[in-house]
Chain A
Amino acid sequence: DAKTTQPPSMDCAEGRAANLPCNHSTISGNEYVYWYRQIHSQGPQYIIHGLKNNETNEMASLIITEDRKSSTLILPHATLRDTAVYYCIVRVATNAGKSTFGDGTTLTVKP
């Protein structure tokens, strides 16, 4: 699995968009970008994933650069409940789990 790099921490004001970056410069053509988050003391929660097109669901949007070497998870209107550790992982869709989740980005949403 390709290695990912995320900033260790970020702050965001409540109600504003939170943009979480992830670098995956060694990503292979068949690897997807997955995002999870983990709210304190809870299990990780799947957010979204994509291959090369931008994706949007009820939780977030995922923007993947054209060269696929980086991506951004966007929470359009962050709330205090979005405070969590956000993990970006890169994995082949048919590979059910070879990699760890890494250190992630701790997002703190402030009032």
Chain B
Amino acid sequence: DAGVIQSPRHEVTEMGQEVTLRCKPISGHDYLFWYRQTMMRGLELLIYFNNNVPIDDSGMPEDRFSAKMPNASFSTLKIQPSEPRDSAVYFCASSFRTRGYNEQFFGPGTRLTVL
């Protein structure tokens, strides 16, 4: 199994531009999580999905952030418009219900820099 796949691995953009981060979870996993990691705030959960349905988006910082999961093998996290304070590493993770929601497998992350 290739594990959780994220793209791009690095993204540099200018303030005001739209940014789309992509995630392919492990096949068969029914939970998908988006996290953001910064030095100041650590690793924080933004949103998670169960069977492609958003369950809890209370961690999404503001309306500029949106996430979708159109099918079981693909999810996107979009920031529009982007701001310098959005610079962080964004991780996607997936898990399989019968192994426990909290046995999460993380992807390699996308390092986002907003200039």
Q: Real complex partners, A and B?
A: yes
Is A43 a contact of B101 with CB atoms below 8 Å?
A: no
Is B43 a contact of A95 with CB atoms below 8 Å?
A: no
Q: Which bracket fits the contact residues of B? A: 20 to 34
Q: At the interface with chain A, which of B12-20, B60-68, B70-78, B106-114?
A: B106-114
Is B43 a contact of A93 with CB atoms below 8 Å?
A: no
CB distance from B106 to the nearest CB of A (A): 3
CB distance from B26 to the nearest CB of A (A): 12
Given A49-B103, A93-B102: A100 and B42 interface contact (C-beta under 8 Å):
yes
Could you tell me the dominant secondary structure of chain A's interface residues? Answer: loop
Residues in A neighbouring B104, C-beta threshold 8 A: 44, 46
Given A49-B102, A91-B102: A44 and B56 interface contact (C-beta under 8 Å):
no
Indicate which residue in B4, B42, B103, B105 contacts A101 across the interface (CB closer than 8 Å). Answer: B42
Interface centre among B31, B48, B93, B104 (most CB of A within 10 A): B104
Residues 54-104 of B at the A interface (beta carbon under 8 Å): 55-56, 91, 93, 95, 100-104
